[in-house]
């Protein structure tokens, strides 16, 4: 096959030609994969061929080796590994050869493909000569090939995990890379490629960073590179410093003074991309110290892996003035550009992180700046002062901040409505929001808001909601936190007198012509939700009045016919906001009997609307509508049965949505809600639901986070339908057993441990529901054959010692449920288990109330099972 022409056609502007070309490439790939890959690699390596076809050939090759979706990726890896080894050798030879091509696009593409192949083969101990052959040439090659080789090493380090490459080779890679970076390298492209390669290779340098001499050398070369005349090298070098700051924080002490000098110079003098990286270095140090201080409470405790070196605290007197200077470098209209990121924004963000790191110490350094600038005629100064104020509101103690806030509040409120500059108003609204977020609420002792200023605050915020979209959006945000602060206020909220006005204003905002800008409509609905969530009994009648209003809004979204795809997306987004709002209202009104009683007269209509929202889409279900239905099912109880005939197909559709796994997870949760609401009435739908859930469990395309909730859902269903669950018992139990075995396999990182615990919890909740569901039925004997396995599972969890409190509580509860349901026939088994002795005793003496409670229950149930 003449692949060049096809590849050219595949980039044709003529759609038909393109489609045909893509079709024939696909056929080629399906009919003869090795031949296909070979001809692509040949094309890439061939200096005679046009650059576009070489690039595309490389790209298709890369896509034949890797994919984003895990299952697809796995499939591609298996396919490559099973390929004929001759073909593979030829392909790899072509790739390596391309690295010395004079055409830079071809080299660069080959670098990436080589890294992908290495990513597959090195973990399998294949292609052992790769790194050696790359390194052997690096010193002899012409500059362009050297650049490509370094770039390949960089990509390779990105693809391959450090444990796959032995230390000897790591040392060689680092040596080659650091040499390429050093000032003695005259070729800019080589030096840039080496610097970028180091960024990826840093993860491999654990051993080297533990060696003082090697570390000193690497650090020196990196710092020197920050002074290169080439801006891209300086930027890449600072990127390395940022990465080092998080990966090797504990090794930085000897260099921090020098780094401060380098970064300060870059921040003040260098071009913006470099300056941004220099600021990011300090933001990253803040991230590290915040984490360390949070985890260890600031003490050098015995179990502390990494001590805090208090770099930020030491740098404070120089760092803060530098950051404040940056605040004055705002761009016009940066608030209107969603993607904007500039030195002023980075400086303010870093200042906020510094405040979180050092707390009170930052206040005296920033207050003079605020005082000096906040009333200046230049908007930049007023904005910078306000931004500085807003940035330090999280971190320092309320005692330190509240006097400042009290002194500034009136000024800020007036600025929000009266400052002539929109940028200043935007930042003022944001700062007010931060005040409400961090200094207002039941946790703060001396309230900033009093009967006296409440009226003024609300009036100013509502007025501000009529401002430009970006300002109005921040005002909504401020109101959100104002409402949240009164969440636990008791029967009477200071916001009650303004409730109606606030709701009305928010609804007005949602109808603004320009509500689509700056996320304004979303912010207005989110704020409305929070206002409803935090409302009290006093305003329940007003929340009830909101129901038909939101229903009407939702109804209106259903009217449009023949929408363009853009309009359809907007419709769907608006429906999401409205369903979200209804969900919050349902949950609020459903939580107290009198309001629920009145609310329920809307239930039929609301459900009708949700069903119509579902009908707007053909293939997927609306996640927000699904969430809202869960809340409705909970509020409705057994009467929900009447909606099931119509709703069921959407439920099934949601369970089948593997792609948007959030939707699938939400739907699984709703199945639980419906089980509890319907109880036996769910039986007619159980066949379908259980079949789908079992299918989901066995699929490797479904995101794994959905699987634990599916098991919990088994428990919900079993508890709801009781002995009727017999029909599914065998299937469910075998799925549970398989998962139980998986969940006990070998340790892993924290993330894996967390997943295993969530899996265990799901499995245990399933067992719990099944045992309790069968209780007092004549069929409990059906469960006896499973008892040994369940007890073994419990013992296993206990022995492994890595369960969290939730698992502990659920596990010991299952022991009780088993004893309770099976009674004396299981007595001997129970008595033989470790769980009934050591595990139970440990739980009985637990500090955790919930664990103790479950353990008491288990003890009671066991004593009965044994005594009968």
Partner 1 sequence: MAPHDLRRPFKRAAITDQQKRRELSLLRQAQNRREAQQQARCLASSILSLQSPVPESEPEQSDIELENASETEQESGALSKDLDVRRASKLRGPEARNWFARQLMLPEWMIDVPDRLSQDWYVFARPAGKRCFVVSSNGTTVSRQRNGSILHHFPSALPAGAKTRDGSGSAQSYCILDCIFHELDQTYYVIDIVCWNGYSLYDCTAEFRFYWLNSKLEESGACNPPSHYHKFRFTAVPVYNCDQSGLYAAYTGVMPYVKDGLLFYNKHAHYQTGNTPLVLVWKDEDCSQYVIDTDSKGEIPSQQQVVLELQDDRKLVTSDEPPVLFGCLDGDIIEKSGLHSGNLLRFAISDGGLSFVDGKLEKADLNYLGKANRARAFADTYSKVLFQFMVRHSPLKIDDLLASINSPDDQENNSSDIEMLLNAPSRVTTV
Residues numbered 166-225 forming contacts with partner 1, rule: CB under 8 A: 196, 199-200
If you count them, how many residues does the chain have? 868
Whether 111 and 153 have beta carbons less than 8 Å apart is answered as no
Q: Does 441 bind partner 1 (CB under 8 A)?
A: no
Binding residues among 836-865 for partner 1 as defined by CB under 8 A: 849-850, 853, 856-857, 860-861, 864
Q: Does 36 bind partner 1 (CB under 8 A)?
A: no
Q: Does 423 bind partner 1 (CB under 8 A)?
A: no
Query: Which ranges in 516-564 belong to alpha helices (H)?
Result: 520-533, 540-557
Whether 602 and 547 have beta carbons less than 8 Å apart is answered as yes
Structure tokens belonging to residue 548: 């038909």
Other CB atoms within a 10 A radius of the CB of residue 81 amount to 13
Q: Does 395 bind partner 1 (CB under 8 A)?
A: no
Whether 438 and 394 have beta carbons less than 8 Å apart is answered as yes
Q: Does 361 bind partner 1 (CB under 8 A)?
A: no
Structure tokens belonging to residue 62: 């890369």
- Kindly indicate which of the ranges 48-56, 92-100, 338-346, 830-838 contains the residues binding partner 1, using the contact rule CB under 8 A: 338-346
Find the shortest distance in angstroms from Cβ 596 to partner 1. Answer: 9
Whether 701 and 732 have beta carbons less than 8 Å apart is answered as no
Mapped onto helix, strand or coil, the DSSP state of residue 24 is helix
Q: Does 638 bind partner 1 (CB under 8 A)?
A: yes
Specify the residue, 41 or 636, whose C-beta has the smaller distance to partner 1: 636
Q: Does 580 bind partner 1 (CB under 8 A)?
A: yes
How far apart, in whole angstroms, are the C-alpha atoms of residue 833 and residue 791? 7
Tell me the DSSP string of 40-55. HHHHHH-TTS-HHHHH
- Kindly indicate which of the ranges 44-52, 249-257, 300-308, 340-348 contains the residues binding partner 1, using the contact rule CB under 8 A: 340-348
| The binder of partner 1 chosen from 130, 236, 327, 791 (CB under 8 A) | 236
Secondary structure element (H or E) that encloses residue 446, with its range: none
CA 277-280-283 angle, 5° bins: 170
Q: Does 583 bind partner 1 (CB under 8 A)?
A: yes
Find the shortest distance in angstroms from Cβ 19 to partner 1. Answer: 31
How far apart, in whole angstroms, are the C-alpha atoms of residue 357 and residue 289? 7
Whether 773 and 818 have beta carbons less than 8 Å apart is answered as no
Find the shortest distance in angstroms from Cβ 354 to partner 1. Answer: 13
Structure tokens belonging to residue 568: 């359809």
Find the shortest distance in angstroms from Cβ 304 to partner 1. Answer: 26
Distances (CA, A) of 437 to 131, 411, 417, 778: 53, 19, 20, 56
Binding residues among 71-110 for partner 1 as defined by CB under 8 A: none
Find the shortest distance in angstroms from Cβ 669 to partner 1. Answer: 5
Q: Does 762 bind partner 1 (CB under 8 A)?
A: no
What string marks each residue from 466 to 495 as x (binds partner 1 by CB under 8 A) or -?
--------x--x----------xxxx----
Q: Does 759 bind partner 1 (CB under 8 A)?
A: no
Specify the residue, 164 or 850, whose C-beta has the smaller distance to partner 1: 850
The residue with tokens 């690096």 is 138
| The binder of partner 1 chosen from 46, 587, 595, 743 (CB under 8 A) | 587
Q: Does 144 bind partner 1 (CB under 8 A)?
A: no
Specify the residue, 396 or 762, whose C-beta has the smaller distance to partner 1: 762
Q: How many residues bind partner 1 (CB under 8 A)?
A: 84
Whether 864 and 823 have beta carbons less than 8 Å apart is answered as yes
Find the shortest distance in angstroms from Cβ 242 to partner 1. Answer: 7
Structure tokens belonging to residue 445: 């002792």
How far apart, in whole angstroms, are the C-alpha atoms of residue 332 and residue 348? 16
Q: Does 393 bind partner 1 (CB under 8 A)?
A: no
Q: Does 768 bind partner 1 (CB under 8 A)?
A: yes
- Kindly indicate which of the ranges 181-189, 258-266, 341-349, 362-370 contains the residues binding partner 1, using the contact rule CB under 8 A: 341-349
- Kindly indicate which of the ranges 311-319, 559-567, 577-585, 732-740 contains the residues binding partner 1, using the contact rule CB under 8 A: 577-585
Specify the residue, 361 or 716, whose C-beta has the smaller distance to partner 1: 716
Q: Does 332 bind partner 1 (CB under 8 A)?
A: no
Find the shortest distance in angstroms from Cβ 88 to partner 1. Answer: 26
| The binder of partner 1 chosen from 591, 832, 841, 845 (CB under 8 A) | 591
How far apart, in whole angstroms, are the C-alpha atoms of residue 343 and residue 270? 11
- Kindly indicate which of the ranges 136-144, 310-318, 337-345, 400-408 contains the residues binding partner 1, using the contact rule CB under 8 A: 337-345
Q: Residue 806: which of 843, 850, 747, 853 has the closest Cα?
A: 850
How far apart, in whole angstroms, are the C-alpha atoms of residue 44 and residue 54? 4
Find the shortest distance in angstroms from Cβ 351 to partner 1. Answer: 12
CA 636-637-640 angle, 5° bins: 70
Specify the residue, 373 or 636, whose C-beta has the smaller distance to partner 1: 636
Specify the residue, 309 or 857, whose C-beta has the smaller distance to partner 1: 857
Whether 471 and 430 have beta carbons less than 8 Å apart is answered as no
Q: Does 602 bind partner 1 (CB under 8 A)?
A: no
What is the distance in angstroms between the CA of the first residue and the CA of the last residue of the chain?
81
How far apart, in whole angstroms, are the C-alpha atoms of residue 796 and residue 701? 29
Q: Does 151 bind partner 1 (CB under 8 A)?
A: yes
Specify the residue, 80 or 282, whose C-beta has the smaller distance to partner 1: 282
What string marks each residue from 291 to 320 as x (binds partner 1 by CB under 8 A) or -?
------------------------------
Binding residues among 267-286 for partner 1 as defined by CB under 8 A: 273, 276-277, 280, 283
Q: Does 149 bind partner 1 (CB under 8 A)?
A: no
Q: Residue 533: which of 585, 470, 573 has the closest Cα?
A: 585
Binding residues among 612-631 for partner 1 as defined by CB under 8 A: 624, 627, 630-631
Find the shortest distance in angstroms from Cβ 305 to partner 1. Answer: 25
Specify the residue, 1 or 784, whose C-beta has the smaller distance to partner 1: 784
Residue 777 backbone zone (phi > 0: left; psi -120 to 50: alpha; other: beta): beta
Find the shortest distance in angstroms from Cβ 529 to partner 1. Answer: 6
Binding residues among 505-564 for partner 1 as defined by CB under 8 A: 522, 525-526, 529-530, 537
Specify the residue, 635 or 791, whose C-beta has the smaller distance to partner 1: 635
Whether 54 and 7 have beta carbons less than 8 Å apart is answered as no
How far apart, in whole angstroms, are the C-alpha atoms of residue 321 and residue 264? 11
Q: Does 772 bind partner 1 (CB under 8 A)?
A: yes
- Kindly indicate which of the ranges 1-9, 34-42, 662-670, 697-705 contains the residues binding partner 1, using the contact rule CB under 8 A: 662-670
Binding residues among 782-841 for partner 1 as defined by CB under 8 A: 813, 816-817, 820
Q: Phi and psi at residue 803, in whole multiples of 5°?
A: -80, 155
Query: Which ranges in 32-166 belong to alpha helices (H)?
Result: 33-45, 51-63, 70-81, 85-98, 104-121, 130-137, 143-159
Binding residues among 707-746 for partner 1 as defined by CB under 8 A: 712, 715-716, 719
Q: Residue 151: which of 178, 189, 123, 111 has the closest Cα?
A: 111
Q: Does 778 bind partner 1 (CB under 8 A)?
A: no
Q: Residue 610: which of 581, 639, 567 has the closest Cα?
A: 581
């Amino acid at each position: 096959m003449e692949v060049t022409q096809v590849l050219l056609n595949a980039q044709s502007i003529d759609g038909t030609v393109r489609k045909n070309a893509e079709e024939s490439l696909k056929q080629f790939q399906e009919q003869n994969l090795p031949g296909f890959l070979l001809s692509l690699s040949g094309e890439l390596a061939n200096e005679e061929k046009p650059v576009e076809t070489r690039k595309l050939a490389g790209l298709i090759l890369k896509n034949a080796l890797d994919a984003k979706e895990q299952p697809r990726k796995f499939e591609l890896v298996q396919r490559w590994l099973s390929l004929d080894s001759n073909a593979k050798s030829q392909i790899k030879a072509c790739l390596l050869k391309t690295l010395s091509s004079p055409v830079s696009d071809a080299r660069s593409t080959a670098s990436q493909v080589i890294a992908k192949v290495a990513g597959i083969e090195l973990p399998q101990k294949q292609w052992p000569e790769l790194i050696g052959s790359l390194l052997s040439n690096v010193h002899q090659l012409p500059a362009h090939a050297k650049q490509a080789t370094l770039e390949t090493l960089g990509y390779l380090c990105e693809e391959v995990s450090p444990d796959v490459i032995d230390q000897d080779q790591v040392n060689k890679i680092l040596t080659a890379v650091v040499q390429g970076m050093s000032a003695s390298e005259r070729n800019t492209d080589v030096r840039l490629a080496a610097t970028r390669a180091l960024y990826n290779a840093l993860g491999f340098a654990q051993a080297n960073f533990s060696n003082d001499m090697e570390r000193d050398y690497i650090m020196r070369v990196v710092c020197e590179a920050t002074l290169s005349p080439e801006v891209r090298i300086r930027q890449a070098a600072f990127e390395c410093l940022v990465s080092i700051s998080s990966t090797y924080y504990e090794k930085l002490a000897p260099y921090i003074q020098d780094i401060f000098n380098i970064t300060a110079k870059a921040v003040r003098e260098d071009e913006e991309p470099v300056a941004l990286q220099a600021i990011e270095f300090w933001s990253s140090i803040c991230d590290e110290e915040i984490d360390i201080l949070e985890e260890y409470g600031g003490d050098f405790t015995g179990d502390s892996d990494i001590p805090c070196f208090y770099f930020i605290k030491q740098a404070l007197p120089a760092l803060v003035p530098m950051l404040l200077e940056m605040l004055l470098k705002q761009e016009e209209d940066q608030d209107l550009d969603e993607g904007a990121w500039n030195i002023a924004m980075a400086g303010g963000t870093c200042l906020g992180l510094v405040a979180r790191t050092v707390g009170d110490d930052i206040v005296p350094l920033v207050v003079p700046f605020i005082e000096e600038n906040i009333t200046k005629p230049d908007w930049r100064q007023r904005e910078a002062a306000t931004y500085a104020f807003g940035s330090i509101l999280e971190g320092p103690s309320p005692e330190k901040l509240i006097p400042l806030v009290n002194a500034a509040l009136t000024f800020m409120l007036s600025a929000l409505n009266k400052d002539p500059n929109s940028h200043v108003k935007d930042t003022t609204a944001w700062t007010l929001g931060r005040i409400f977020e961090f200094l207002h609420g039941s946790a703060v002792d001396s309230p900033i808001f009093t009967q006296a200023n409440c009226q003024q605050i609300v009036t100013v915020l509502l007025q501000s909601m009529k401002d430009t979209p970006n300002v109005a959006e921040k005002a909504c945000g401020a109101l959100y936190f104002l409402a949240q602060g009164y969440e636990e206020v008791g029967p009477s909220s200071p916001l009650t007198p303004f409730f109606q006005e606030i709701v009305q204003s928010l609804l007005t905002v949602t109808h603004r012509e320009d509500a689509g800008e700056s996320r304004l409509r979303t912010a207005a609905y989110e704020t409305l939700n929070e206002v409803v969530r935090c409302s009290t009994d006093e305003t329940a009648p007003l929340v009830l009045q909101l129901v038909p209003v939101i229903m009407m809004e939702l109804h209106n979204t259903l009217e449009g016919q023949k929408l363009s795809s853009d309009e359809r997306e907007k419709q769907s987004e608006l429906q999401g906001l409205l369903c979200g709002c209804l969900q919050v209202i349902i949950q609020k009104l459903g939580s107290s009997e009198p309001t629920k009683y009145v609310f329920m007269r809307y239930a039929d209509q609301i459900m009708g609307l949700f069903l119509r929202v579902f009908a707007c889409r053909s293939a997927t279900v609306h996640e927000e509508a699904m969430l809202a239905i869960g809340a409705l099912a909970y509020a409705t109880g057994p009467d929900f049965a009447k909606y099931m005939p119509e709703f069921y197909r959407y439920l099934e559709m949601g369970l089948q949505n593997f792609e948007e796994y959030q939707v699938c997870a939400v739907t699984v949760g709703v199945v639980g809600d419906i089980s509890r609401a319907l109880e036996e009435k769910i039986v007619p739908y159980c066949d379908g639901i259980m079949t789908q859930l079992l299918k989901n469990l066995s699929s490797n395309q479904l995101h794994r986070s959905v699987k634990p909730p599916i098991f919990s859902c088994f428990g919900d269903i079993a508890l709801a339908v009781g002995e009727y669950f017999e029909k599914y018992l065998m299937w469910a139990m075998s799925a549970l057993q398989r998962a139980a075995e998986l969940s006990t396999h070998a340790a892993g990182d924290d993330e894996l441990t967390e997943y295993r615990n969530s899996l265990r919890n799901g499995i245990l909740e399933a067992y719990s529901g099944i045992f309790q569901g069968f209780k007092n039925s004549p069929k409990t004997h059906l469960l006896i054959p499973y008892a040994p396995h369940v007890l073994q599972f419990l013992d296993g969890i206990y022995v492994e010692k890595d369960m969290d409190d939730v698992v502990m509580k659920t596990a010991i509860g299952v022991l009780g449920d088993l004893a309770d349901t099976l009674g004396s026939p299981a007595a001997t088994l129970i008595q033989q288990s470790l769980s009934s002795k050591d595990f139970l005793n440990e739980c009985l003496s637990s500090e955790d109330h919930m664990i103790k409670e479950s353990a008491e229950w288990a003890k009671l149930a066991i004593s009965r099972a044994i005594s009968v």
